[in-house]
């Protein structure tokens, strides 16, 4: 059964199918009003979220289905100490498909290990956010018409920005991608993405110190917010937060058909004066997020018992002598089997990808 825990759980062909279905839904929404009739989506949100949760809510409702779940784990049995795996076993008795957001990395993977229904990772800590990635890919496809051979600038918080991590992973399936990383030292892209994705899968990247340096080359500028809630040091946060801001002046350096994306919420990294620029795609991106989630929910339900759409082979293994050192990993917070994986010479935790 297909879950969506990582963007790489979908093949490039499956992503294309989902994008094509989203296109079709945008053109003919009425054809899909009953597509999920009598089906239920559970949204288990252990971390605050407005747009992603409401996007899932709008998506299931527009497909004629229903929604249940919680947006505040403190008010559910979680407060009594229930584990993610138990919560999912229970919710799967009520729902046909589950979307989970969790501050602990790897929680959706732990859920998928025991779930009899498809699990969608709606964001786990600073690790991954694959439905935002599908949103981003649909936006790029709608704005520029193709995804291959594009040059991306990722700007802001590349360290904690899970949407950046997931999008770069997904881009490894496309041809001719180049990446500019525009971030201060303290917010650089994690080692596992640079090594496992950029180096091993061949995405060339250049690290630069300012938007201006990269701007004329870019087809996509992907802006992100500094993730204050994941920062441990408030002083450091205050020192960095005003760096790397996009304004109308900098937009003058960009290509005529470049698109600016942002997963939102925006704080101050894009001045509102940029909003009127036709290249500012971030509010259109929100709308695409609903359509791509409709397409994803329908596809995962259609593929559930279809052997043509298996989960990819993960090659996870156990080894009692190894231990994940990430305190924010599910394997250090709940009793799950600690799994590991190998990428080249390196052994990583299968849940959070920390190097062992
Ligand atoms: N909405 C995105 C996320 O959930 C980005 C952000 O919060 O800054 O990761």
Q: Say how far apart CA 131 and CA 347 lie, in whole Å.
A: 27
Cα 162 to ligand 1 centre (Å):
7
Taking the CB of residue 349, how many other CB atoms lie within 10 A of it? 26
**pLDDT tier at 244, thresholds 50, 70, 90:** confident
CATH class, range 7-128+288-303: alpha beta
Q: Is the pLDDT of residue 75 over 70?
A: no
Q: What are 267-276's pLDDT values in tens digits?
A: 889 999 999 9
Q: Per-residue pLDDT tens for 131-154?
A: 999 999 999 999 999 999 999 999
Dump pLDDT digits (tens) for 284-294: 999 999 999 99
Nearest to 189 by CA among 177, 199, 174: 199
Q: Which pLDDT score, from 0 to 100, does residue 231 have? A: 65
β-strand pairing of 178-182 with 205-208? parallel
Do 228 and 173 contact (CB within 8 A), yes or no?
no
Domain layout of the chain by residue ranges = 7-128+288-303, 130-286
Question: Which atom of ligand 1 sits closest to the CA of residue 101?
Answer: 4
Ligand 1: residue of 136, 163, 268 to mutate (most ligand atoms within 8 A of CB) is 163
- Find, among 104, 101, 92, the residue nearest to 43 by Cα: 101
Counting ligand 1 atoms within 8 A of each CB, the residue from 154, 263, 286 with the most, and so the one to mutate, is 263
CB atoms within 10 A of CB 91: 22
pTM: 0.95
Cα of 131 to ligand 1 centre, how many Å?
11
The domain defined by 130-286 carries CATH number 3.30.930.20: no
Q: Other C-beta atoms within 10 Å of 67: how many? A: 17
Q: For 297-313, what is each residue's pLDDT tens digit? A: 999 999 999 999 999 98
Q: Of all residues in the chain, what percent carry a pLDDT higher than 90? A: 85
For the chain, the farthest-separated pair of C-alpha atoms sits apart, in whole angstroms, at 56
More confident residue, 37 or 237: 37
Instruction: Report residues whose beta carbon is within 6 angstroms of any ligand 1 atom.
Output: 123, 129, 162-163, 225, 227, 263-264
| Same fold across 7-128+288-303 and 130-286 | yes
């Amino acid at each position: 059964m297909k879950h969506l825990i990582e963007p790489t759980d979908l093949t490039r062909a499956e992503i294309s199918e989902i994008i094509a279905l989203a296109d079709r839904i945008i053109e003919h929404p009425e054809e899909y009003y009953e597509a999920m009739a009598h089906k239920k989506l559970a949204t288990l949100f252990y971390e605050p979220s407005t747009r992603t949760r409401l996007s899932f809510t709008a998506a299931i409702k527009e497909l004629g289905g229903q929604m249940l779940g919680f947006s505040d784990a403190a008010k559910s049995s979680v407060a009594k100490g229930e584990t993610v795996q138990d919560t999912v076993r229970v919710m799967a008795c009520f729902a046909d498909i589950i979307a989970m957001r969790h501050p602990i990395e790897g929680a959706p993977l732990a859920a998928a290990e025991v779930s009899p229904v498809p699990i969608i990772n709606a964001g786990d800590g600073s690790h991954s956010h694959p439905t935002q990635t599908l949103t981003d890919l649909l936006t790029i496809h709608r704005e520029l018409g193709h995804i291959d051979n594009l040059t991306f600038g990722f700007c802001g918080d590349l360290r904690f920005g899970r949407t950046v991590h997931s999008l770069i992973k997904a881009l490894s399936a496309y041809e001719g991608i180049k990446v500019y990383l525009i971030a201060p030292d303290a917010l650089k892209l994690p080692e596992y993405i640079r090594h496992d994705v950029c180096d091993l899968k061949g995405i060339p990247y250049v690290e630069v110190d300012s938007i201006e340096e990269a701007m004329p080359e870019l087809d996509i500028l992907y802006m992100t917010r500094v993730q204050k809630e994941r920062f441990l040091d408030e002083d450091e946060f205050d020192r960095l937060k005003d760096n790397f801001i996009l304004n109308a002046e900098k937009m003058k350096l960009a290509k005529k058909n470049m698109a600016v994306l942002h997963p939102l919420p925006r704080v101050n990294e894009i001045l509102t004066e940029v909003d009127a620029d036709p290249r500012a795609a971030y509010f259109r991106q929100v709308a695409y997020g609903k359509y791509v989630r409709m397409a994803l929910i329908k596809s995962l339900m259609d593929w559930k018992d279809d052997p043509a759409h298996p989960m990819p082979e993960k090659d996870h293994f156990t080894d009692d002598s190894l231990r994940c050192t990430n305190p924010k990993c599910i394997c250090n917070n709940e009793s799950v089997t600690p799994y590991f994986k190998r990428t080249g010479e390196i052994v990583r935790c299968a849940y959070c990808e920390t190097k062992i």
